Amino acid sequence: METGRFVVKEVFSIRKIGILGGTFDPVHLGHLTAAEAVREAYDLEQVLFIPAGEPPHKLDQTKTAAWHRYWMTVLATLDNPKFDVSPVEIQREGVSYTIDTLMYFREKMGSESEIYFIAGADLVFEIAGWRRSDALFERCVFVIVTRPGFDFGRLRDNLSGVLTQAQLNRIAPLEIPALEVSSTEIRQKIKAGRTVRYLIPEAVDAYIRKNGLYR
């Protein structure tokens, strides 16, 4: 269905879904690599990319307009039929909290569905401080994507004083091929007039150049 300028594909019949949230400013190959690795490892029917509206930890940071970030993510995922993009957070007024998004999809998809929330290892310690973190663990499994060789055992030990055992059991690690790239680095390269080829999809690069973003 079409909502304003955003095209929304109904995913509520899916029983096993991955969710990858982020500002995607811009989306890059690291995001796509992580999403595909989790999809394959957990045999997910779909991975849903959700561009953030107003993330609480970035309220004081300048972000590219939501509709630019949305369409860049759409372009980046077009060639993978198992990827989709949802505008649910950028259409929601106010601050975007992960629990609101998870509750939305849990309600629409039903209690029998399985939701896998994809996050990087750097976010693990922040999760405990997110709004209603106890409810987050009840509604999804957190798949923590790491570089090969990452010491997840040590991470679990460090988290043992922050999370309960039941919550720790809802965290699963997954090693993916190392790809040292970040949206911040990409924006800096573009601003400096340097190439970002092979860091972002070609369609996203073309969109950035056409709209003069990050310059």
User: Would you say residue 206 lies in a domain?
Assistant: no
pLDDT, averaged in runs of 10, over the chain (215 residues): 45 82 95 96 96 68 86 97 95 86 89 91 78 88 87 81 88 83 94 96 97 95
Q: Note the pLDDT of residue 140.
A: 93
Q: Note the pLDDT of residue 134.
A: 84
User: Would you say residue 81 lies in a domain?
Assistant: yes
User: Would you say residue 142 lies in a domain?
Assistant: yes
Number of separate domains in the chain? 1
Instruction: Supply the range of the domain harboring residue 62.
Output: 15-180
Q: Note the pLDDT of residue 128.
A: 76
User: Would you say residue 209 lies in a domain?
Assistant: no
CA-based angle 96:99:105, to the nearest 5? 100
User: Would you say residue 119 lies in a domain?
Assistant: yes
User: Would you say residue 111 lies in a domain?
Assistant: yes
Give the 3-state secondary structure of the chain: CEECCEECCCCCCCCEEEEEEECCCCCCHHHHHHHHHHHHHCCCCEEEEEECCCCHHHCCCCCCCHHHHHHHHHHHHCCCCCEEECCCCCCCCCCCCHHHHHHHHHHHHCCCCEEEEEEEHHHHHHHCCCCCHHHHHHHCEEEEEECCCCCHHHHHHHHCCCCCHHHHCCEEEEECCCCCCCHHHHHHHHHCCCCCECCECHHHHHHHHHHCCCC
User: Would you say residue 199 lies in a domain?
Assistant: no
Residue pointed to by tokens 């073309």: 206
Exposure on the CB side of residue 16, measured as CA atoms within 13 A: 8
pTM metric for this prediction: 0.88
126 contacts 159 by C-beta, under 8 angstroms: no
CATH number at residue 63: 3.40.50.620
Q: Note the pLDDT of residue 120.
A: 86
Residue pointed to by tokens 């798949």: 143
Q: Rounded CA gap, 95 and 116, in Å? A: 22
Q: Rounded CA gap, 47 and 44, in Å? A: 7
Q: Say which residues have a Cβ less than 8 Å from residue 133's Cβ, sequence separation at least 6.
A: 127, 167
User: Would you say residue 195 lies in a domain?
Assistant: no
